[in-house]
């Protein structure tokens, strides 16, 4: 390749500068704003806001919800990708499309769907009320909403990964008489661990930050059904900006950790961040 | 070791496989999918049409619903185009150039995916109000972003931008640069190389990314409600109206708007899926 001419170099520098400037204004400034606002009234008030009961209980609930939702979708992701990548069956393409549905549904609509199923006027509402089981405006509802919005995350990472890997090793193990569970623990799981971890981190990050779906199903009872993102909203609407941005700073911190871990996993395992439909399992 | 082949295996499998666990894994997948996604989807459809077609149409064809829906569509369209411009520029720079800080920029692109929408919402609002770091320079120019339609577009393009980068970037990285070099050596101007060689290859990915950004923007709630101002018939988006209807205990009205939103987003998803399948099949034919 020839050495770049002066005009080519100018175009290159110009485009890099423009990209950096737009990333700075569009993405970095909001990030800095969160911390600047959180510390606007000094570090002491920030610490006070973080250690308030409202924030601590919200943080606890957020972590509990994520700890319930992520494992459920991990199990689903493994089962779905095993069925889809290891077998050729009728209706496979339809199944793959259906798994992607939650990505296309507005979080608010997702929340509303569960109200129509479990709410007082919903399908199972009267029965649940008669048996004194609370799902809507209680923790199970928040967990369900979180499971829904993170539903495809693990499966979508595993399917292309397992497809590319093929099933030769597992078939060899079957021929040699290995037990199905030992095939899973000794061959499949070690092979997919990076993709599994990657998908789980995406799911955990979204679980911690989900707002719309949880907002519809939570009932906003402070100290009982407010997750951290809901606490951000409530404090903000009460014009308690330090508290809102202090809670937001915890979430931003979690987001920065997610991006860092993601980047490390990408360089360690060769996984690439993608959006859109995969070229998989066709 | 001969294993008894179950009836499910025989009837569903196109090709026999020696591997275990077909019934268990598919059974769990379908059951879980039905419980978490399909059943709730059916419930919302049942509610929206519980009063019949006429009630459904009546719930949609109200001025307030109509203006919320058109506002959402217009804003999402503008936002998707902004995301496309930003996304193509950043994807190009990341794929083609090496510069200090490149990997940090690459990691930052996913920030809108990782940052909770409520946090994005309050941060953007604070930046663009009249005292904000950006707003204070825009207000004297008579450009109002916070609590106007522009705020909605801004928040929507923020959440949609990674979709474009992450669909276009892999295509640009895989692209064989010798094609561009060949075009140049045959006398094509840089602009001709861009429009005749690059764009045809990138266009499917760019359109897919933009469509995904549009779908995300049309359903976005968390980041928009803080910056929108939420004035009925002026800056009230469809997702917010769903919540408002719900708070008024108008379940049928809420479900009707939700169904309209579902039809839009699911058809976008289906179109993307079908075009991708077609492209794959064509590539397969070419070998």
Tell me if B108 and A255 make a contact (CB, 8 A cut-off).
no
| A53-86 and A139-149 helices, crossing angle to 10° | 40
Considering the domain architecture, whether residues A17 and A110 belong to the same structural domain is answered as no
Q: Is residue A163 part of a domain?
A: yes
Tokens of A124: 């199972």
Tokens of A166: 């093929």
Q: Is residue A202 part of a domain?
A: yes
Tell me if B119 and A34 make a contact (CB, 8 A cut-off).
yes
Interface probe for A, chosen from B119, B239, B248, B255 (most Cβ of A below 10 Å), is B119
* Separation in Å, CA of A52 to nearest CA in chain B: 19
Considering the domain architecture, whether residues A64 and A26 belong to the same structural domain is answered as no
Q: Is residue A181 part of a domain?
A: yes
Is the pLDDT at B103 greater than 70, yes or no?
yes
* Among A242, A208, A237, residue whose Cα is nearest residue A58: A208
The whole-model pTM stands at: 0.92
- The residue in chain B having the minimum alpha-carbon distance to the alpha carbon of residue A73 is B32
- B42-59 pLDDT tens trace: 999 999 999 899 999 999
- The residue in chain A having the minimum alpha-carbon distance to the alpha carbon of residue B39 is A117
CATH number for the domain including A156?
1.10.3720.10
Q: How confident is the model at residue B4 (pLDDT cuts 50, 70, 90)?
A: low
Residue A16's domain spans which residues? 1-38
**Contacts of residue B158 in chain A, CB cutoff 8 Å?**
26-27, 30
Tokens of A172: 């060899």
- pLDDT for residue B7: 67
B162 in contact with A, Cβ within 8 Å: yes
Helix, strand, coil shares of chain A, percent, nearest 5, are 75, 0, 25
Considering the domain architecture, whether residues A121 and A30 belong to the same structural domain is answered as no
Average pLDDT of the segment spanning B2-23: 77
**Contacts of residue B103 in chain A, CB cutoff 8 Å?**
263
**Contacts of residue A209 in chain B, CB cutoff 8 Å?**
114-119
* Separation in Å, CA of B27 to nearest CA in chain A: 9
If you write DSSP's letter for every residue of B210-246 in order, what string do you get? HHHHHHHHHH--HHHHHHH---TTTT--HHHHHHHHH
Considering the domain architecture, whether residues A185 and A240 belong to the same structural domain is answered as yes
- pLDDT for residue A198: 95
A186 in contact with B, Cβ within 8 Å: no
> Distance between CA atoms of B114 and A257, rounded to whole angstroms?
9
Considering the domain architecture, whether residues A67 and A192 belong to the same structural domain is answered as yes
Tell me if A16 and B93 make a contact (CB, 8 A cut-off).
yes
Interface of B with A in 79-108 (CB under 8 A): 86, 89-90, 92-94, 97, 99, 101, 103, 105-108
**Contacts of residue B40 in chain A, CB cutoff 8 Å?**
110, 113-114, 116-117, 148
Q: Which residues pair with B13 in a beta bridge?
A: A89
Considering the domain architecture, whether residues A227 and A109 belong to the same structural domain is answered as yes
- A189-242 pLDDT tens trace: 999 999 999 999 999 999 999 999 999 998 888 888 899 999 999 999 999 999
Q: Is residue A111 part of a domain?
A: yes
Per the structure, the count of domains in chain A is 2
* Separation in Å, CA of B203 to nearest CA in chain A: 14
A178 in contact with B, Cβ within 8 Å: no
Chains A and B form CB pairs within 8 A to the count of 311
Q: Is residue A276 part of a domain?
A: no
**Contacts of residue B270 in chain A, CB cutoff 8 Å?**
97
- pLDDT for residue A88: 93
- A2-22 pLDDT tens trace: 566 888 889 899 999 999 999
Tell me if A106 and B18 make a contact (CB, 8 A cut-off).
no
Q: What is the ipTM of this complex?
A: 0.92
- pLDDT for residue B180: 86
Q: How confident is the model at residue A279 (pLDDT cuts 50, 70, 90)?
A: very low
Q: Is residue A281 part of a domain?
A: no
Interface of B with A in 55-74 (CB under 8 A): none
Considering the domain architecture, whether residues A129 and A180 belong to the same structural domain is answered as yes
| B251-286 and B52-60 helices, crossing angle to 10° | 90
Considering the domain architecture, whether residues A16 and A83 belong to the same structural domain is answered as no
Interface probe for B, chosen from A11, A16, A174 (most Cβ of B below 10 Å), is A16
- B156-180 pLDDT tens trace: 999 999 999 999 999 999 888 888 8
B16 in contact with A, Cβ within 8 Å: no
Considering the domain architecture, whether residues A99 and A26 belong to the same structural domain is answered as no
Q: Is residue A280 part of a domain?
A: no
Is the pLDDT at A133 greater than 50, yes or no?
yes
Q: Is residue A218 part of a domain?
A: yes
**Contacts of residue A3 in chain B, CB cutoff 8 Å?**
none
Considering the domain architecture, whether residues A76 and A16 belong to the same structural domain is answered as no
Considering the domain architecture, whether residues A67 and A23 belong to the same structural domain is answered as no
> Distance between CA atoms of B241 and B182, rounded to whole angstroms?
54
Secondary structure of B111-165 in the HEC alphabet?
A: HHHHCCHHHHHHHHHHHHCCCCCCHHHHHHHCCCCCCCHHHHHHHHHHHHHHHHH
Considering the domain architecture, whether residues A97 and A201 belong to the same structural domain is answered as yes
């Amino acid at each position: 390749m020839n050495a770049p001419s002066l005009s080519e170099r100018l175009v290159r520098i110009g485009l890099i500068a423009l990209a950096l400037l737009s990333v700075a204004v569009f993405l970095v400034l909001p990030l800095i704003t969160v911390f600047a606002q959180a510390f606007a009234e000094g570090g002491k008030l920030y610490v006070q806001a973080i250690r308030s009961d409202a924030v601590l209980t919200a943080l606890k609930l957020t972590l509990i919800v994520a700890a319930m939702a992520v494992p459920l979708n991990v199990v689903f992701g493994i089962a779905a990708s095993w069925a889809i990548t290891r077998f050729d069956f009728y209706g496979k393409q339809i199944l793959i499309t259906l798994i992607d549905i939650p990505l296309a549904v507005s979080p608010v609509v997702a929340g509303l769907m569960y109200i129509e199923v479990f709410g007082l006027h919903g399908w199972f509402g009267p029965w649940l009320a008669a048996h004194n089981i609370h799902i809507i405006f209680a923790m199970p509802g928040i967990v369900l909403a979180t499971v829904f919005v993170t539903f495809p995350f693990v499966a979508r990472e595993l399917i292309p990964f397992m497809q590319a890997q093929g099933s030769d090793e597992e078939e060899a193990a079957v021929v040699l008489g290995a037990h199905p569970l030992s095939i899973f623990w000794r061959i499949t799981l070690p092979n997919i661990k990076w993709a599994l971890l990657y998908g789980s981190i995406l799911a955990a990050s979204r679980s911690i930050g989900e707002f719309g779906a949880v907002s519809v199903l939570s009932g906003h009872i402070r100290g009982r059904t407010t997750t951290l993102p809901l606490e951000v909203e409530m404090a903000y609407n009460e014009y308690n900006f330090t508290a809102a941005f202090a809670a937001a700073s915890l979430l931003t911190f979690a987001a920065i950790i997610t991006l860092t871990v993601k980047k490390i996993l990408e360089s360690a395992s060769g996984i690439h961040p993608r959006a859109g439909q995969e070229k998989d399992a066709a | 070791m001969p294993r008894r082949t179950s009836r499910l295996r025989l009837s569903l499998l196109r090709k026999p496989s020696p591997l275990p666990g077909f019934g268990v894994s598919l059974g769990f997948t379908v059951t879980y999918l039905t419980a978490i996604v399909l059943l709730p989807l059916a419930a919302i459809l049942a509610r929206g049409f519980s009063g019949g077609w006429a009630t459904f149409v009546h719930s949609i064809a109200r001025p307030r619903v109509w203006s919320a829906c058109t506002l959402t569509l217009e804003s999402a369209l503008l936002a998707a185009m902004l995301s496309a411009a930003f996304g193509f520029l950043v994807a190009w720079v990341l794929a083609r150039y090496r510069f200090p800080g490149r990997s940090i920029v690459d990691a930052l692109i996913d920030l809108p995916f990782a940052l909770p929408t409520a946090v994005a919402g309050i941060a953007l609002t604070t930046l663009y109000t009249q005292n904000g770091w950006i707003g204070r320079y825009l207000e004297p120019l008579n450009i109002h972003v916070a609590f106007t339609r522009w705020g909605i577009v801004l928040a929507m393009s923020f959440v949609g931008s990674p979709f474009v980068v992450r669909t276009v970037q892999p295509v640009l990285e895989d692209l064989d640069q010798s094609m561009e070099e060949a075009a140049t050596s045959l006398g094509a101007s840089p602009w001709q190389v861009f429009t005749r060689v690059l764009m045809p290859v990138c266009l499917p990915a760019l359109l897919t990314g933009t469509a995904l950004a549009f779908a995300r923007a049309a359903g976005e709630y968390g980041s928009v409600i803080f910056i929108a101002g939420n004035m009925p018939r002026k800056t009230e988006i469809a997702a917010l109206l769903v919540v408002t209807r719900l708070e008024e205990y108008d379940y049928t009205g809420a479900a009707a708007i939700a169904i309209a939103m579902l039809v839009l987003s699911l058809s976008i998803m289906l179109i993307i899926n079908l075009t991708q399948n077609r492209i794959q099949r064509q590539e397969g034919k070419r070998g």
